[in-house]
Amino acid sequence: MKILVTGAAGYIGSHVAERLKSLGNNVVGLDNFSDYYDVSLKKLNAKGLEEKGIRIEKIDLRYSEELQNLPADFNYIFHFAAQPGISAASSFEDYLGNNVIGTKNLLDFALKNKKLALFVNIGTSSIYGINAAFDESVPPTPVSHYGVTKLAAEQLVLESSRLGDIKACSLRLYSVYGPRERPEKLYTKLIANAFKNIPFPLYKGSENHLRSFTYVQDIVDGVVSVIGLEDIVNNEIINLGTEEENTTQHGIEIVEQILNKKIDLQIVEARSGDQLRTKAVIDKARKLLDYNPKTSLYEGLKVQVEWYQNNFL
């Protein structure tokens, strides 16, 4: 099968592209190589994918004309490309352009693919709001521009499936960690600061935040499992994460245990829009996808520490 992965040079997208290729598919990746974080990290991911036979195209989905020369012969589209996070450095226009306009342009391209079996939108638990501990039937109440625009993108995708234009679903991911995690995210930054012996900036009160920290390969298992189930997942929203909850403080302590060192914490002002709790309710994923995340936080963080050591020390 021929599969398109957007945001393929990014964190989770690169892992999914790699898995799809390992399953014998012809995988093409798109990425705009945004400078939201160090572009060299995306280039490192892209190089690794290209060495495995995955072609990476530099395309910015905000501009529909950049998709015009892309062959419209894909069987599946996995849409990871987005403006991520709740950084003050990102404007509302950044979120609107990348998350909403980009998704609409990709949907217009998807309609040209006559052999398309399924469009898979990658959503986020941020859609739920401050507390993300619900099943998929609960009305969303996002509290960040990221959450609001990701909800809008999700609804654009599901609109197309409701109208019968394409088959589509949306997978809402929960607190994904592991190798290739973005440098500003909790664990990569925590590990990096520990090795560099510099204080880690901890948002005030966040040590008590509860998270469904989910190992990236468990997420990949769930994402790729939709292949062949398009009639079952069409027009569905499905949570993907782990039911296990851990506080941020406990995660910090696990990293300290793995590294056998105490990490200096510097308390900084809390961020607006940060979630207090995420707990993945995955009954639907278990039923429809036979989804079963199994990696413990300790096991996953041990792999992430090893990845950092192998690539950055």
Dihedral in degrees, nearest 10, Cα atoms 163, 281, 271, 177: -100
Annotated catalytic residue, options 146, 174, 215, 308: 146
For residues 172 and 82, give the distance between their C-alpha atoms in angstroms, rounded to a whole number. 13
Find all residues with CB under 8 Å of 143, minimum gap 6, and list them.
129, 130, 273, 275
Verify whether residue 146 is a known catalytic residue.
yes
Tell me the HSE value of 243 on the side-chain side, using a 13 A CA sphere: 11
CB neighbours of residue 289 within 10 Å: 22
Residues written for the chain: 313
- Per-position DSSP letters for 227-251, written without gaps between them: TT-HHHHTT-EEEES-S--EEHHHH
For residues 287 and 285, give the distance between their C-alpha atoms in angstroms, rounded to a whole number. 5
What order do you get walking across the sheet with 210-211 strand by strand? 131-132, 277-278, 210-211, 246-247
State the pairing for strand pair 246-247/210-211.
antiparallel
Active-site residue set: 146
